[in-house]
Structures are given as structure tokens and as C-alpha cells.
Amino acid sequence: SQTIHQWPATLVQPVGSPLSLECTVEGTSNPNLYWYRQAAGRGLQLLFYSVGIGQISSEVPQNLSASRPQDRQFILSSKKLLLSDSGFYLCAWSVQSYEQYFGPGTRLTVT
Amino acid sequence: AQRVTQPEKLLSVFKGAPVELKCNYSYSGSPELFWYVQYSRQRLQLLLRHISRESIKGFTADLNKGETSFHLKKPFAQEEDSAMYYCALSGRDKNKLVFGAGTILRVKS
């Protein structure tokens, strides 16, 4: 069966420090991969998605970037974190656009 | 532009009362609409999609193209329905979904 992992579960980082959040999927090949930020009152905001290795679509201009070095690995990064980057980050995968399967999420607090 | 609006941040009802979670969308083509749900301490998951015309856990949703709405309904709410509900739309780019802001449903005993 398919599973999706995200780590770390929680992270506290100072402003200006780098960030790397990792997401991996098991049990499926060539999935679409997604990074979302979930904020209270603003819902689920799509940040990046990828339909294949090295293919990244950015949805909103921001301080973050994404990479897909392997078929089932999706990484969210930042060179210098801002306070506004705090939030709950969700990774998801799909093989058909409508049914997306979500990971457990990472709570990021930038201090 | 594609947009999904869920006007209620919080909906509180008593157990056994009817529930209607509102969702309106903006899209010029023929969209596919979905409801996702996140129960406490669980992952976000698909609840139902309009093309299936199915009832899941007693919930139904009908796509009304004239009113551009996809409201989620249940005739008798149960305490275990308490959760965050997101309406989502798939439009021109079938690779991605546009989510609404979400509605917290609280069912009181």
C-alpha cells in the first residue's frame, strides 16, 4: 500500500536560518507531488507541485523553493527564513488530480 | 481565475440537527468539485466528489452550476462529524486543486 512520510513533525528555527523539509512517498511510481501551507482562516494554500523529477511549478511568489531530486522525494527549502514563513506545511501526492493523499504535516515556528 | 469560497469559518449545530456547509466557486469552465475532511489528529482526506454522486457517512453534495455552488449536506449531524471541512475545485489544470478556506463543523451533544 502507499504511504507518505514527512519530517520533521515540528521545527523551531530562528529568523534568517535555512530550512529543509522532506517528503517521501512509498508504494507508487511517478506520482504528482504537492506542498501546501495550512494557515488558520486562510485554508490550504498550494505552494508548489511537481509532475515529475526536476519539474517544479511554483504557485505563489515567496521565500521558499522546492526540489524533486528523486521520483518519490519532494523537498521544501529556504535559504533564509522569515517570521511569515511560520505555519503548518503539508505534503501530498496523487496519481489522479482530484484524490490527493496527505502527509501528517510539519509545524514550523520561526522565532 | 479559479476561486473557492467557504463563507463560514465555524458552524455549530446540535446532534441530530441538519447540516449544510456552504461552498461557492468561481470558474468559467466545467469544474470538478470535491469535499475534503480533516478529523482531529488525523490527516486530511477526501470525503466525496461530485462526479461520483455518492453519499459518504451520510453526507451528500450536489453541484449547482446555475448558482455555482457545491454545498455539503447531512440530514442528521452526529458528534463524530466534528471536523474541518474543505471544498476544492479542479479546473483547467487537472494536476492541481484549489481549496477554500475551510469550515470547522462542531456538533454539540
The residue among A95, A81, A89, A84 whose CA lies nearest residue A32 is: A95
Query: Which of the 8 DSSP states describes residue B82?
Result: -
Interface mutation vs chain A, best among B96, B103, B104, most A CBs within 10 Å: B96
Q: Does B56 touch chain A (CB under 8 A)?
A: no
Q: How many residues does chain B have?
A: 109
What cell numbers appear for A76 in the block?
Answer: 521544501
Any domain includes A51? yes
Amino acid B70: pLDDT: 96
Amino acid B109: pLDDT: 92
CATH of the domain at A63: 2.60.40.10
Confidence at A19, pLDDT banded by 50, 70, 90: very high
- Distance between CA atoms of B20 and B105, rounded to whole angstroms? 10
Domain residue ranges of chain B, discontinuous segments joined by +? 3-108
Amino acid B12: pLDDT: 98
Q: How many residues does chain A have?
A: 111
Any domain includes A24? yes
Any domain includes A110? no
Q: Does B3 touch chain A (CB under 8 A)?
A: no
Contact B101 A104 (CB under 8 A): no
Amino acid B16: pLDDT: 97
Number of domains in chain A: 1
Beta strands per DSSP E along chain B: 3-5, 10-14, 19-21, 24-26, 32-38, 45-49, 60-61, 72-74, 83-90, 98-99, 103-108
Any domain includes A111? no
Question: Can you name the CATH fold of B3-108?
Answer: Immunoglobulin-like (2.60.40)
> C-alpha B109: how far from its chain's center?
22
Amino acid at B47: L
- Distance between CA atoms of B4 and A3, rounded to whole angstroms? 28
Q: Residue A39: which domain range?
A: 3-104
pLDDT string in tens for chain B (109-residue length):
789 999 999 999 999 999 999 999 999 888 899 999 999 999 999 999 888 878 889 999 989 999 999 999 999 999 999 999 999 998 888 788 899 999 999 999 9
- Distance between CA atoms of B97 and A89, rounded to whole angstroms? 16
For residue B102, give how far its alpha carbon lies from the nearest alpha carbon of chain A (Å).
5
Any domain includes A39? yes
Amino acid B100: pLDDT: 94
